[in-house]
Structure 1
Amino acid sequence: MTENSEFRPLPEATGVPVAHLHRETPAVFRGMASDWPAVSTWTFPYLASLAPSLPVQLVAGNREKDRTAFTRSTLGEYLEPLTRDSSADHDQTYLKEFDLLKQFPGLRGDLRHERMFPRGSVSSCSSWIGPARARTGLHHDLLDNFAVQIAGTKRFYLARPGTVERAGALSTKYDSWARLSRVGIAELAADGDPAAGDDFFAVDLEPGDVLYVPARWWHEVVNLSAGILLSGFFGSRMRVASLWARVRLRDTLHRAGLLSPENCTCHAERRGAQHQ
């Protein structure tokens, strides 16, 4: 997919993110996290120095749309090429959904994310670290998300809830906390109703920018340069508890081979596996 930003630009928002939540529409808050210590200190060499020999599992390619494949490396070995040149071509492996704060609890002091979440909400933070052109395929999450760009530049393509469903493009591929599309967003927009141009948006995040992505909003994400992003998924205690029960049931069925066996984002697939 050639990167372009022909979709409508996402409007910039003002004020604090929590005040925008009732609108249930995406919004970008420029520079909202620019004063976080992480934005100035979380360089690739710094993160690598925390535990160079730490084993990490990397996602190969676009696992949301294509087959799922993993490779293994160490934190230092993976980050070293990104340190040398953040814009050069690298193997398209991606350190996705990495629990950076669990591995290095001291990094919590470099964040100010707690002030973004509504009072009483339950939240979970993961990091996405990878080279230019690393991609997360079109999907929607079950929880709201505050995506904070820490380093590099990342582009989000967004589509309104229901856009993939109306196109009959839902994938049967299993993911525990998301729903996937079997086509990319460029294909979806090209094949859709020309009058539905208002359904598609694009926004580029620079270090310190915060993007609010409501649950059920479809999005595809690509690194325009090597980068680090922190996602904070959140919801009320009641909503998270309800979703957790459903997710756990589906996960049990999946692992028992009764729901999308051998067609998921959590297990490597054999070559030739077909996606619907």
Structure 2
Amino acid sequence: MNIVSEIVKQSQPVEEITSIDSATFKKNYFNKKKPVIIKGFAKDWGATKNWDLDFLLNLKEDKNIFLLSDNFIQDDNRYKKASFKKYIQQLKDAESNNTSVKDYLTTLDIFEYYPHLKSDIDFSFFEKHTKVNDITAWIGPANTISGFHADTANNVYAQIRGKKMFIISSTKFNKTMYPSKKHIYGAVASDVDINNFNNTKFPEFKNNKFKSVVLEPGDVLFVPQNWWHYVQALAPSISISNFGYTKFEVYSLKFKERIIQSLHKRGFYKPNNCFCCEIQ
């Protein structure tokens, strides 16, 4: 049973502001672990002004990438090898021919691939409070889904093209978000799939409190670390996320996660009990 609309209907809006400086952000949101949407914050970024499928196709070099499809959190999924430009062309052809594409590009280290593009974004209000920032791109068609999960890092998420809906829930509801026992690097997944909901298995889930928001081009959303969130693309979209770690977290949380991931890959920690997506 699909309960997405039901959850959105019962949700409250995320606090909305139209501007921010680093000191206010730290005091009112970063330190308090409070979500906020900054409407139009990125509207003047080079990325928001210039990035579209044609822009990406015209980048000089092609790159090897890995694609996913469906709900990559709750579904049994596998990465697919692909060419960056062939995939972008596939998206463009689908838009022109009004056909559908299921595959999407997730957590692409875009600035390692194309370093010159980094000047097209500006997360400085956030990066003044972090030591390490993992910045990735999300590119894909409408209706892509990242099911409920909680990232261990603070996340600032910028919508560059298209629209995406976020449903988020506080750490207060950790128990009734039904955390999965499976290993997932840098996050905790929920066992609940709201597109195929089972009320018998998750009877208390609907009692959780939720917030929801639709991001439009130029909007920036702060999702505090360990907050649960579900993401659905409402249109073909390009997004940039910045997972930030403080100096303390770099030498504690991030170091610990890398050790756990290393042990997992070697079969010493939750072997064959994970959300790791093997490559096809």
Normalization by structure 1: what TM-score?
A: 0.87
Counterpart-to-counterpart distance in 2, 1:144 and 1:120: 9
Q: 1:191 to 1:118 in 2, by over 3 A?
A: farther
Alignment of 1:66-77 (within 5 A): 66-77=75-86
Counterpart-to-counterpart distance in 2, 1:162 and 1:185: 19
1:266 aligned residue: 276
Tell me the alpha carbon deviations over residues 139-194 of structure 1, each in whole angstroms, 9 at most, x when there is no partner.
00111010000111011111111424235x21122211111111125648984376
Secondary structure of 2:44's partner? Answer: coil
Instruction: Compare 84-93 and 233-242 and name the one that shifted more.
Output: 84-93
Q: 1:193 to 1:13 in 2, by over 3 A?
A: same
1:23 aligned residue: 32
Alignment of 1:235-274 (within 5 A): 235-268=245-278
Instruction: Report percent identity of matched pairs.
Output: 28
Q: 1:99 to 1:246 in 2, by over 3 A?
A: same
Superposition RMSD in Å: 2.5
Counterpart-to-counterpart distance in 2, 1:247 and 1:241: 10
Stretches of structure 1 lacking an aligned partner (at least 5 in a row): 271-276
Q: Which amino acid aligns with 1:39?
A: T
Normalization by structure 2: what TM-score?
A: 0.86
Aligned residues: 267
2:239 aligned residue: 229
Aligned partner of 1:126 among 125, 130, 136: 136
Stretches of structure 2 lacking an aligned partner (at least 5 in a row): none
Tell me the alpha carbon deviations over residues 207-259 of structure 1, each in whole angstroms, 9 at most, x when there is no partner.
10000000010001010001011001112111122112211221122112122
User: 1:89, 1:132 within 8 Å by CA — same for their partners in 2?
Assistant: no
Q: Which amino acid aligns with 2:163?
A: T
User: 1:37, 1:111 within 8 Å by CA — same for their partners in 2?
Assistant: yes
User: 1:149, 1:207 within 8 Å by CA — same for their partners in 2?
Assistant: yes
Counterpart-to-counterpart distance in 1, 2:180 and 2:254: 21
Aligned partner of 2:204 among 192, 197, 204: 192
Aligned partner of 1:61 among 59, 70, 86: 70
User: 1:121, 1:236 within 8 Å by CA — same for their partners in 2?
Assistant: yes
1:219 aligned residue: 229
2:15 aligned residue: 11
Counterpart-to-counterpart distance in 1, 2:278 and 2:145: 17
2:146 aligned residue: 136
Instruction: Compare 4-13 and 90-99 and name the one that shifted more.
Output: 4-13
User: 2:176, 2:205 within 8 Å by CA — same for their partners in 1?
Assistant: no
